[in-house]
Structure 1
């Protein structure tokens, strides 16, 4: 990426808009951000730039489970992560300005997670890509994107997510972030400690043809008097397609068939009489 274009990204730093009661700090990005949509074919953007095909496979009814697995946290490619600072800038942005950096979110060291609950099968504990200096509370955005090629696939797609969050999953955005948080309330904070139950979410609606971006926002809080913390998220996705509902074909019962036979016989008798 050219220096001029990199500088352009720097000028376009904006904040993720959270729910009204939540002031999410500004997102801080490193050099040369990359936005990857799994399974997206190569295309030319409105500025004439050729965008290479995204990694992985598109999300279709034929390969739903396999396609969803590539969204899992802790794999490469996989879910991304972005740390935030305490700037508290206001505003919102569409998903295509949420520039993802690198192949996947950074894994949390095993020595840290030794006393945490294990992540859902197929996933790993992941966190922001660089340390934060927030002393009391921080928010980490975990976005993941996948391509659905047809309207038929989008209409029937059913995606489930098993997750653990340290500390609390407070927001889910679908596609444009300025559409607002889809959670009516933050989800339970205790899905990360040993003995806690993993959370489960059904992401069955809102899928569309083309790019589909989900952004999960996790709130962390200080773990000790010194303000040390580790905000992290673990998510395992699976998908399937709802069966096609057959169109009901009207059928006739025995009385209906008898009546139909009588009508046919009557029509035949009338026709025969006319010929005579």
Structure 2
């Protein structure tokens, strides 16, 4: 599929159908898998919440929990609760529903644009994305290592392009510290709609973060002895950005314990501006296959 078609499919999936005043329905990305991608649910929930808030109040944060595995064969219904509209902030709660049961919930906050005190961490000193392997080149390195049951998902084309700094430089075949830097952007131009760019970043932010906690354990996410799933997801927006220009995702995992891995991410634009921060805890449970 052409990059423009993949991005158009994502934009279409984020154009939710309004069923009632606070009720929306979202179609699924045509990925051909039974399990629904969590990033899509986060992004659609943010779309649903955003459509109940004034346009001059962009989202500044969201906090979400995954409760049940999503079913990719049926649409998702999003129910929005308008908790509060204050002078500066609006808060919303969203429940994602399938088969009559909640699969995901999210709280989101929106704020009018204001000036204030500023500081930020510097962006890591990493190679430019143009000097790194493309996502397709990176995947070709590991085709022989991926079990047949996971190969289709591993090779699945997506509307987001990734370029991995450490893997491009030194390979990815041995345990290493739980840190990684990944450039990413949409595969094709995206319409000039800041809310859409925010929702697409929410979609992409769930794609690589959990794998950071697996790096010290020499697992790439396709070992059937490890059960991997996102448990929660938090995202903060700090500054405007474009999802169709390169963004650096600086990720680390400070701790894994209790069959869970804690992961953090800082997202910078090409000018070194910190535009978003992410945190996620994921299930990394050892399975007994005996």
Q: Which category of TM-score, normalised to the shorter sequence, fits these structures?
A: under 0.3
More helix by share: 2
Which structure would you say has the larger Rg?
Answer: 1
Q: Which has the higher contact order (CA 8 A, sep 6+)?
A: 1
Q: TM-score, normalised by structure 1?
A: 0.26
